[in-house]
Structures are given as structure tokens and as C-alpha cells.
Structure 1
Amino acid sequence: MIFDNKSFKTFLTILSIFSGLNLAMAQRPAWLEEYNEHQAYKDIYVVKKINNTNGTYSSFLVDKNGKKLTPAYRDIGKFSNGLAEFVTFENHKGALGMHGYLNKNGRIIIPPIYRGAGDFQNGITYVIYPKGKQMGLSYLDTLGKEIYKVPVELFPNDFLINKAKAAYVAYHDCQEDFIWYVNDNVTTLNWKFGKYTEADIKKAKEPFRFYYKGKYGVVDKNLILRVPVALDDIDLIYKHSGRGLARVRYGDKFGYISSKTGEVVIPFIYEDTQKPSLGRYWVKKGGKWGCINKKGETVIPFLYEYAGRFMDENRASVSLNGKFGHIDTTGRVTTPIIYQSASYFKHGVAMIQLDNKYAYIDTSGKVITKQWFSEAQPFREEMVETQRFGLFYEVLPDGSVKFKRISGYWKGGLILLGLVLLAIAPWRFFKARMKGNR
């Protein structure tokens, strides 16, 4: 019989498969037949026996001869980084099985004190446990040392134990998880990513900020969740952020995370914030503005109804009891808080308003213009135009004032006066002639 090339290759493939199966059957120990499932790791096996009648099951770690290296556990997971997760049976009081880790000798390395856990990846795993009214999440190394604890207590409305749903895989307790429904969407405390997303996370220069159905979370390049998926907003374009901190929102309150680590460094206690300036963060609490530094320490008390940014002159405009003035970054008042309004400083000069008139001051609070104006504006360029009695003036940062032009009202008035004079002049000339003729 003659085979074509394609048929011959197919025949060889089938033959190799059957040869491999026969070899595997020949190498498979006879004692494995008493177990329903097994997973081989060179000279040891993770085996499981399932009672199909009542649905009970138990798992063991055994050597190549079938000798049990562990007592019966409810489940034993896959080995990774030399450790495998295991789950104990419920105790006589009905408590749920707890999760821990053992090595290939069957010795417990991390005790079973957790409600959930995962496989080790690059020497790190996550564990889930009750923490007050919430489920907590931490990351451990292969010795059980805690690397990072997710601050779930900062998110008191999320991850509540009484709203958690346990998700099980039949006969595989090591694959159980806890889920919550948020706005009818399923979310979880620990987060698993696809391989392409993982690649993006590991390449990112900063902690990776991700979005899921209306919520944000932050994970670092080691796949450690620094902030759980509970944030309502992250200032991704740094409109209100800077100097190493990014503004985030939980519910109706604001806080900050570190742009370097992704961790929450300033909790969610503020009603509003401003973009930082000169190392100060204006934040609003209790309806008043005050300043904190990047550690969250209060450096200017929460006193002010209004606060402007600190400019290069180390001054910020503030309002207290309806009056305006200036303070520096230490909170010291540099312009008395007595004015109707006080602008930002530019070129060392700020505009003030008092009794509905305007003038300009220097950084010491001294008024540098001799005149007060009916209309004015803050400095943007190296000169500014003001108005007084309908006359326009040019004001320079040194306080000097130079007449520039008259207003349209003055022009209109002068034109009208000229017209009146022109109308009166012929009549007076005619009247004088008539008087002369007499």
C-alpha cells in the first residue's frame, strides 16, 4: 500500500500519541487507581479521593510509593515556588476551612489562618482574611512574611463580609474566591489580569491605574494591588495633582496616592482640593480651606472661605470673614485681611479693593500707587491699564502711573460740547451784529 506524504505524517502522529499513552500507563503506579484525581511533581503526587455518593472529598500529598506525607486535607493546590496552597476541613463547630501553604515534604510553611489564597508568582502570593467588618487582603513571601497589606479600612463601604459571596469550584477549594456586587457589577478584592495586561503593567514606569465598570484601582509592576478597585476617580491628567501625589476620590471625599508607589498616603477626608503650589496643597475640610504638605500634615490651619494658589512671590490670596488679604507659605499674614478683594501677585505686585476703589500693593502689603482707581485689573504683563474719573492710566510694577488716554465718555462729552459751542457761536455773532447796527 502506498501512502501520500500527508497521510503518512498523520499516521506517525497518531502512533506517537498512542505510544506516549502506553508509556504513561506503564509508568503510572498502581496505587494511584484508588484516587479520583492526581497531579505529579517528579517524586511526589497531590492526590484526591472523591465520594460521589455524598460529595465528600479529601486530598493528600504522597511520595512515589503512595506513602502519605500529610494528613487528609480538604484540598491541596498546585505547587509553585516550592509551595502549594492547602485547605483544612471545617471544624466541629462548623467553621469554614482555612488556607495555608505546605512544601513538598508535607511540612506546613505558612499556617492555615486565611479564608482565601492564591498561587505563588515570583515568590509572592495574596491571602484574604476577615478584618473587622471587611475582608482584608495582604501579600506574602514564601516564608509567610507580609510584604504589603491593602488598606481596605480606607474604603468602609466596600468589601463587607456580610455582602461577600463565596464562589466555589466543585471539589477544588483552593480555587474559591469572594465576590461582591457593586451597581449590579461583580467585583473582587484580589485582582487577576490577562497576560497582555500583565505585560503592560510590568512595563509601566509608574504604578498602573486601571478602570473597571465605574471604579478605579492601582497595581504595581509586581502585580501587588496597592489600591483595591473602589476609587470613584483618579486625576489622570494631573489637573489637581503634582509634586509626587495624585488626587483620588472615594465617594464625595478626596485624598492622595503616591505617584511612585501607588499607595494611599493621604486619606479621603477632604471636600475639595487645588493643584499644589510651592510645596503646599490647599484642601478643604469642614467648609474651610487650609494647607497640608505631601505627608498630609496640616501646615496652615483650616480658616479660610477662599484661598488662591501660592505664586512665585510666596504669597496666596485668602478670604476670612468676608475680607481678603495675603499669607505666605508659613501661614503668616503679609497683607492685612481687610480688603473687599485681593488678587494674586505678579511681578511682585497685587491688586486690592477697598470702598469700591482699587490700588496696588507690594509683597510687604504697602500700597505703592498714589491714586486709587475706579476700575483696575491684576497684573498679567509688565504693565496694566486702570481708569479714574473716565481717564485711563498705565501702571507699572514700581507703582508709577502714566496718563494714557481719555475714555469714550469723555470723547463723547467733548464732541457734544463742541457741537453746542458751534451751534451757539453763530447765534452770538448774529446777536452781536444786530446790537452793533443799532
Structure 2
Amino acid sequence: MPFRNLALLFLLLQPAWAMAQTKPATGKTWLKEYNDYREYDDVYVVKKVNVPCRSYETFITDKGGRKLTPAYRDIGDFADGLAEFVPMELGPDGHGLHGFLDKKGKVVIEPKYTSTDRFRNGKTWVIYPAGKQYGLSYIDRTGKEIYRIPIHHYDKSYLIKDSDIAFLCNQDTKEDVLWWIQRPMDFHILNFNFSRFIEKEIKAAKFIYHFNYKGKYGIIDKDMVLKVPVALDDIDPEYKYSGQGMERVQYGDKFGYISPFTGDLIVPFDYTDTRKPTNGLFWVKKDGKWGCIDKTGKLRIRHLYDEATGFTAENRAAVAINGKFGHIDKSGKVRTPLKYDFASYFNHGISMIRINDKYGYMDTTGHFITPIIYDEALPFDNPTTSVERLWLRFELSLDGKEKFIGFSYKLNAVFIVIGVLLFIWLNNLLYQRVLKKRLFRKTQK
């Protein structure tokens, strides 16, 4: 049923008969035998209460009071020509079963759901047992399933054993399936209906709409179909880790990907870490190793690597196994043997390589454009970079040529220390001379 305010929650707990008796319509003396009625064009929904909150019967009748249905526990409001109803016989779990009938009393959708709502724009949602969880689907007016939330991907949420089904006294169609956070008014629900203002905002969204409820995120589309239940621990609408037509989402300590256009889950929650995609591939971590998937979630490079960088324009990524670095291409083929102490990403066709605490630079063919001679070095993030050897600093170009630009920062630090020590020594020497002159003058007197 629609998400209710806290006042309703208190009503759910009231054992007293809360249904107001309605005055019978003029000339409808037969309505006096019922405690409540609602008129819908040429039919009535009437209710007789024998024992408040315990024994009651609901019927559809014509204008003359002729019953068009057998006795039901409850019949809800008509919308789109159908009304929700709950038969007398309870389900195997001891709760009411929910279905739909038309104004002639004909059962259009069999009562088999744990919870549902009135139809809006030709569809409604239904909740039902799905293994250890409750599932949620959308159906049309014939009962055909339009969309089913893949609830099995959220296997720690919406468990049947943790749920509580509550409904209003004498009104079984006004129920909710609740997962209590803290009683009496802090809970999660699987179904969501929104205020008119929020619904307008959702329908105006370009693609999907993210929303937060009590610290968890859900995703709904422009057709008001919930695509991801309120179970996510993190989302990435700003695309810090997303791209290539997939948005990263987090459930518990695992990551997966949804479509930012439809909200459908593309990649299940299989990965403990991810990186922003590059050149159509996503580095994802599983069982402590990095591998690559494409934008459909298909595994393209096996989970082999302890470290990995993004693929650059050179069709190369730096990878490492057991502390040894090299490069692979997008097919997973090793293009630089994994034998170096460090290898950077490629940029401007050059990668920085380290062997035994010395650095050099390699091109995509494996040819070194410089010897492995530098004590300090940086990758080629620009057409030139800075290197250091023998305490001298050089600007290095892409062809490996050096241009002296100054002394090492370490050498400058040494010069500063020497200068300070020299200053102290000279200052002390000058002080000693001044002190000797003063003593000499005193002795002369």
C-alpha cells in the first residue's frame, strides 16, 4: 500500500474498531445492515463487522443490494476499473492474499500476493515471497508482469524472517510489509510511492532518479518503476568511478554497475574495488586480484594482477604480479615482460622504468630511450619531464636529450647546511676576536 505517515503507524497498533459508520443513502434502506459502504457509479462496496478487528465481511453489491461477490475480508478502492481484494482464506503463512476484481465481482487477478496497491496508469506493484526474501514486481491490469526487481542481488535485505506485516483494523487491503530499524516508527519498506512534488521531479529527470531513504539509496525510472530497491550503500552520479555507459553502485562491501539510462543492474555485486574506466575497459578487483570487464560486464582480462593502471592512448596498461611490473594491451597480451621493479603508465609513448633504485625510459616497442641511470625521475605527463643524476637536475625530452636546469634539491640542501655551518663558524670566530680585544683593553688599564 502507499507509504504512510507516522500517524498511520499508530493506527496500525490500535486494536479498537476505527471504521466510521456511514449514513445510508436516501432510499437505500438495505444499506442499514452494513457498518460501512462506498459507492462507485452503479455498484457499492459494503462491509459488515461482526466483531471489530476480528470478524467482518465485505461484498460488492448492485444498486438494489444484490450481492455480486461472496464474502471477502476486504475490498479496496476502485482505480482503473479494478479493486484490490483479500479473500477469507488466509495464505500458508497466516496472512491475507491480495488480488484484483472488477465492478461485476469477477476476479481478474488471482489473490496470491502478500501486498499490493491500487492501479495507476495501468500498472501497480506487487510483493510476494521470493525464496528467503520478499520480491517486488510491476504488473498490468491483466496480471502480466512488466518488470521484476532482481531482489536476489540484494541477498542481505528484505528477508522474510525479519519482516512484519501490519494492516488497519477491519481493512486488510491497507497493509504494509515493514522491516523495523527501531520501533515504533523507524522502518524500511520495499515498495515506494512518492508525493506529487517528488513524482513530478522524477518524471522530469533526464534518465533515472536517485533517492535516499534512511541512509540507503534506491533508483526509480521516469515511468515510476523502482529499478533498484532502497538497499544501496553508495552511488556515483558524479561519475568519479563510472563511465562508458555504466554507473558504479555499492551494496555492502561489494561494487557493481547499473545503466545510468534505465537503472537496470548490468554487473552484479562481485567486486571489492574498481577504477574509473579507460578506453572502454573497467579494472575491477576480485579475490585480491585486478582484471578487466567491458561495458556489458563481460570479463575481458582475467583477475591476475596485484596492481594495474588505466589503459592509455598507446593501448597499454602497467600491471604487476608479485612485485614485478610490465605492460599489457587491451587484449590482455603481455607487451612488456613483468620483470621490472616498477613501470609507470605510458604517456606520449614513453613509460618510466625502475631497476635497482635507478630509473630510465622505454618506448612502446621496448626500446630504452635513456640508460637506467637516474636517481630520481617522473613520468612524461608533459612533452618534457624532470630527472636527476649525480645530484644534478635535467629537463628530459621525448627523444632522451638532457638539458641542465640546476642542482639536485638534495645538493641544494647540503649547500644550505654548509652555509649555515660556515655562518656559525665565522660568527663564533668573530665573537672570539671581539672578546679577546675587550680582555686586552682591560689588562692595559
Give the TM-score range, shorter chain: 0.7 to 0.9
Match of 1:146 in 2: 145
Q: 1:295 to 1:28 in 2, by over 3 A?
A: farther
In the alignment, does 2:215 pair up with 1:214? yes
Residue 283 (structure 2) pairs with residue 263 (structure 1): no
| 1:47-99 residue CA offsets vs partner (Å, 9 max, x unmatched) | 11111378311111111121111111111111111111111112597843211
- Quickly say closer, same or farther: Cα 1:341–1:46, change in 2 above 3 A: same
Aligned-pair distance for 1:356?
1.6
- Secondary structure of residue in 1 paired with 2:37: strand
Q: Which residue of the partner structure matches residue 392 of structure 2?
A: 391
What corresponds to 2:300 in structure 1?
Answer: 299
Matches within 5 A, 1:27-426: 27-52=26-51, 55-91=54-90, 95-182=94-181, 185-370=186-371, 372-407=373-408, 409=411
Amino acid at match of 1:190: N
Task: Tell me if the contact between 1:89 and 1:96 (Cα under 8 Å) persists in the aligned partners.
Answer: no
Q: 1:391 to 1:345 in 2, by over 3 A?
A: same
* C-alpha contact 1:127 1:140 (8 A) present in aligned 2: yes
- What SS does the corresponding residue of 1:190 show, helix, strand or coil? coil
- Distance in 1 separating the partners of 2:53 and 2:141: 36
Q: Aligned with 2:176: secondary structure?
A: strand
Identity of counterpart residues, as a percentage? 49
Aligned residues: 393
Cα deviation, residue 402, structure 1: 3.9
Q: Note if contact 1:289-1:303 (Cα within 8 Å) is conserved in structure 2.
A: yes
* Partner SS state of residue 129, structure 2: strand
In structure 1, what is the Cα distance between the partners aligned to 2:371 and 2:152? 59
Aligned partner of residue 32 in structure 2, secondary structure? helix
Q: Give the secondary structure class of the aligned counterpart of 2:178.
A: strand
Q: Deviations over 1:320-346 (max 9, x none)?
A: 111011111111111111111111111
Distance 1:270 1:90, change over 3 A: same
Q: Contact 1:90–1:96 (CA<8 Å) still a contact in 2?
A: no
Aligned to 2:15: none
The aligned counterpart of 1:432 is none
Deviation of 1:27 (Å): 4.2
Letter in structure 2 aligned against 1:245: M
Shift of 1:146: 0.5
Please give the secondary structure, in 2, of the residue aligned with 1:239. coil
Which ranges of structure 2 fall in alignment gaps of 5 or more residues? 1-22, 423-445
SS of residue matched to 2:364: coil
Secondary structure in 1 matching 2:51: coil
Looking at structure 2, the residues matched to 172 and 53 of structure 1 have their Cα atoms a distance apart, in angstroms, of: 11
**Kindly tell me: are residues 260 and 26 of structure 1, through their superposed partners in 2, closer, same or farther at Cα, counting changes over 3 Å?**
closer
Equivalent residue of 1:186, what SS?
A: strand
CA distance in 2, matches of 1:125, 1:276: 37
Distance 1:251 1:139, change over 3 A: same
Q: In structure 2, do the counterparts of structure 1 residues 59 and 340 end up closer, same or farther at CA, with 3 Å as the change threshold?
A: same
For 1:294-334, what per-residue CA distance to the aligned partner results, in whole angstroms no more than 9, with x for missing partners?
22111011011111111222211111111011111111111
CA RMSD of aligned residues (A): 2.4
Aligned 8 A contact 2:24 2:31 in 1: no
Paired residue type of 2:161: N
1:271-308 Cα deviation digits (max 9, x unpaired):
11111111111111000111111221110110111111
Match of 1:84, SS state, is strand
CA distance in 1, matches of 2:283, 2:396: 31
The alpha-carbon deviation at position 41 of structure 1 amounts to 1.1
AA in 2 matched with 1:114: Y
1:94 to 1:329, Cα distance in 2 relative to 1, 3 A: closer
| Structure 1 unaligned blocks of 5 or more | 1-23, 420-438
- Tell me how far apart the structure 2 counterparts of residues 398 and 147 of structure 1 sit (CA, whole Å): 62
Go from structure 1 to structure 2 and tell me whether the alpha carbon gap of 1:93 and 1:201 turns closer, same or farther (over 3 Å shift).
Answer: closer
Q: Is the 8 A contact 2:218 2:230 kept in 1?
A: yes
Report the CA distance shift for 1:94/1:231 in structure 2 as closer, same or farther (over 3 A): closer
Counterparts in 2 of 1:407 and 1:113: CA distance versus 1, 3 Å: closer
* Conserved 8 A contact 2:82-2:101: yes
- Which structure has the larger Rg? 1
Deviation at 1:407, TM superposition (A): 4.4
| Structure 1 moving runs of 4+ over 3 Å | 24-28, 52-55, 91-95, 182-185, 400-413
The amino acid that maps onto 2:36 is E
Q: Report the AA paired with residue 143 of structure 1.
A: T
Q: Distance in 2 between matches of 1:92 and 1:400?
A: 82
Q: Is the 8 A contact 1:257 1:263 kept in 2?
A: yes
Q: Which has the higher contact order (CA 8 A, sep 6+)?
A: 2
Q: Residue 91 of structure 1 contacts residue 97 of structure 1 at CA under 8 Å; is this kept in 2?
A: yes
